[in-house]
């Protein structure tokens, strides 16, 4: 499976303005050829994510970053106690926060395998393995710090990225990739599952590459295209399936994923 190499950062501005009003994702900027940041709003009352937010912390993943976070927290608490407490409590988080969703086109994938975890050896579970997805993007942290300075807020990031080196991603891609044949993927260029009738996959799992931006519109376009091939219920015998042994036309596949 692939991700957009994401990092959730942001700026919280306690009591200054209502950041929850407006379009959910209204703008974006490229920091370089690989890095894209979108400004994201959450509707008022959506404060649960605030429980996972903490003060922005730099450094490399590992114990060093955790110690740096502890130092950042206590320094902020001693210098600006009221401001720090207001920044970290979850109540009113959506009204006071501007989320900066950072994504990169750099390839990042998660290999999933069945294995027996050390804490429960009696049963195999699906677990990730291999190289971790990056949880620290220096360009993104620098952008959040500058944005906080300009609008008078406090830069924030995710607790999971700092304490556990676990990325917080909402866009998992791949797993059922679109391909010319069952030897290379799971669905054809009309989202039909190889080897089955009337079975379609229409989500992010059919996208086999890291787009580097929010994939929602791409997923919607692929789904709309797949649905355009389905005949009305009164006119079909519901036996739609990829042709046996046929290879999907490469130009059609390219058009479907463009």
Active site residues: 171
Task: Give dist(CA 251, CA 258) in Å, integer.
Answer: 10
CA distance 90 to 80: 18
User: 25-30 and 2-3 as β-strands: parallel, antiparallel, unpaired?
Assistant: unpaired
* 155/138 Cα distance (integer angstroms): 13
Nearest to 201 by CA among 237, 180, 182, 176: 176
Neighbours of 78 (CB within 10 A): 9
In sequence order, the 6+-apart residues with CB closer than 8 A to the CB of 73 are: 54, 55, 84
Place of tokens 């209502």: 18
DSSP string, 67-136: HHHHHHHHHHHHHSHHHHHHHHS-TTHHHHEEEEEEEE-S--B-EEEEE--TT-TTS-EEEEESSPPP--
């Amino acid at each position: 499976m692939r991700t957009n190499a994401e990092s959730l950062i942001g700026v919280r501005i306690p009591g200054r303005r209502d950041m929850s009003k407006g379009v959910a994702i209204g703008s974006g900027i490229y920091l370089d050829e690989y890095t894209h940041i979108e400004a994201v709003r959450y509707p008022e009352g959506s404060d649960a994510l605030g429980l996972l937010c903490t003060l922005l912390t730099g450094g490399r993943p590992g114990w060093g970053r955790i110690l740096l976070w502890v130092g950042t927290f206590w320094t902020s608490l001693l210098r600006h106690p009221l401001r720090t407490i207001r920044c970290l409590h979850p109540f009113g988080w959506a009204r006071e926060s501007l989320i900066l969703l950072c994504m990169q086109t750099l390839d990042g994938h998660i290999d999933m395998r069945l294995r027996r975890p050390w804490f429960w050896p009696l049963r195999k579970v699906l677990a990730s393995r291999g190289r971790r997805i990056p949880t620290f993007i220096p360009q993104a942290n620098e952008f959040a710090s500058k944005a906080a300075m300009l609008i008078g807020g406090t830069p924030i990031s995710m607790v999971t990225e700092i304490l556990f080196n676990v990325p917080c991603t909402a866009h998992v891609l791949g797993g059922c990739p679109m391909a010319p044949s069952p030897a290379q993927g799971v669905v054809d260029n009309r989202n039909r599952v190889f080897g089955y009738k009337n079975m379609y996959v229409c989500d992010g799992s059919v996208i086999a590459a890291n787009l580097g931006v929010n994939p929602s519109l791409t997923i919607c376009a692929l789904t709309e295209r797949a649905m355009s091939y389905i005949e009305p219920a009164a006119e079909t015998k519901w036996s739609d399936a990829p042709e046996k042994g046929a290879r999907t036309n490469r130009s059609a596949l390219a058009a479907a994923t463009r």
